[in-house]
Amino acid sequence: MSPEPARPSAHYSYTAYADPAMAERFDRLRFGGPIGELLAEEQERVLAAFLGPVRDRIVLDVGTGTGRAALVLARLGARVVGVDASSEMLAVARARAAAEGAAVHFDRGDAHALAFPDRAFDHAVSLRVLMHAPDWRRCVAELCRVTRHRVVVDVPALFSVAALQAAARRVARAAGRPVEAYRVFRLSALRREFARQGFDLREIHRQFVLPIALHKYFGSRDRTLAVERALAAVGLLTLAGSPVTIVAERCDR
C-alpha cells in the first residue's frame, strides 16, 4: 500500500470523490443511459487506437476512479495498475475487477506525486483528471516521468461550448454552490507542457460539438449521432469539439 497522499483537503477534486454515495453512483451518472453507453464505447475505441496493442504491456491508469479505463485495458491484455486519491472510488473499482476476474492492481495514490520509479510503465492513461487537478502541470510532469512510451489524457477545450458551461460553474462555485468548477484547456498549452517533458502530441480526437449534458437531456443515441455527424460535416467538430483526447509520445526512447 502506498503512503497516504498529501492533498489540499478542501479542494473539491478530493472532497467530492471521498463520498461513498458518489462512488456508488459515479458510473451511472457518467455512463448510464444511451448517451453514457455511447461515451463508454467511444472511450474504449480511442484508448485502443491511441495505445495500439497493449497485451503484456504495463499500463498505469492515474485517477482511475471506479476503474472503467483500467478494466478496458485489462480486457485488452495489459498488465494494469490503477491509482486514485479516493479510497471510496477504489473500493468500487476493486469490486468491479473482482466481479470480472480481472487482475488489476488498485492502490491509493495522488496524480501530483506518483509513487513509482522513472519510466516504470510502458504507457499511462489519465482521463478526466487534468480538468480538476489543483496543479495540472505537475500532473503532466508526473505522468511523463513514469512512462516510457505514450501518455493519453483528455480535457475540455477552451474553444468549445463546454467552455461556457465551465465558466458558469466557476461563477456558481464562487457563489458557494457545491459544483465542480473544472478548467478548460488550450491545446497549445498542453503541447508546450508535454514538450517540456520530452513528449510530442501525436494524435487528437474530438468527441462532441454540443455539450454532453444536452445530449443526455434528450437521451437519444440516434439523434446524437445524426446531429454530431451533421456538425462535423460542416467543420464544427474540428473547430469546437470537446472533450479532446490526446496521445503524447516520448521523443527520446
CA 196 – CA 1 distance, rounded (Å): 31
pLDDT in tens, 229-238: 999 999 999 9
Count each helix (H run) and each strand (E run) in the chain, helices first. Answer: 11, 7
Say how far apart CA 64 and CA 84 lie, in whole Å: 6
Cα dihedral value 231, 34, 24, 51, nearest 10: -60
**pLDDT tier at 9, thresholds 50, 70, 90:** low
Query: The pTM is what?
Result: 0.91
Closest to 155 measured CA to CA, from 241, 60, 36, 53: 241
Among the listed residues 179, 155, 154, the one whose alpha carbon sits nearest the alpha carbon of residue 168: 179
What is the reported pLDDT for 208? 95
pLDDT in tens, 47-76: 999 999 999 999 999 999 999 999 999 999
| Domains, in order of start, for the chain | 12-250 (3.40.50.150)
Please answer whether residues 89 and 26 qualify as being in contact, where contact means their C-beta atoms are separated by less than 8 angstroms. yes
Residue 66 phi, psi (nearest 5): -90, 10
Quick one: which H or E segment has residue 13? Answer: helix 12-15
Q: Which of 244, 22, 217 is nearest to 131 (CA)?
A: 244
| CA dist., res. 103 & res. 126, Å (int) | 19
Residue 164: band (very low, low, confident or very high) from pLDDT cuts 50, 70, 90: confident
Q: State the pLDDT at residue 253.
A: 64
Task: Give the separation between CA 50 and CA 123, rounded to whole angstroms.
Answer: 10
d(CA 17, CA 14): 6
